[in-house]
Amino acid sequence: MPKDLIVKDTDVSKVTKAISSKTRWQILKLLKKEALDVSRIAERLGQTEANISAQVKIMEQAGLIETHYEPGVHGVRKVCRPAVERIILVID
How far apart are the C-alpha atoms of 77 and 60, rounded to whole Å? 16
CA 65, distance to chain mean position in Å, is: 4
Q: Shortest CA distance to 38 belongs to which of 79, 83, 74, 71?
A: 79
Partnered with residue 5 across adjacent β-strands are 87
3-90: in CATH 2.60.40.640 = no
More confident residue, 92 or 33: 33
Tens-digit pLDDT profile for residues 35-91: 999 999 999 999 999 999 999 999 999 999 999 999 988 889 999 999 999 988 888
Tens-digit pLDDT profile for residues 68-84: 999 988 889 999 999 99
Partnered with residue 52 across adjacent β-strands are none
**Domain ranges across the chain:** 3-90
The model's pTM is 0.86
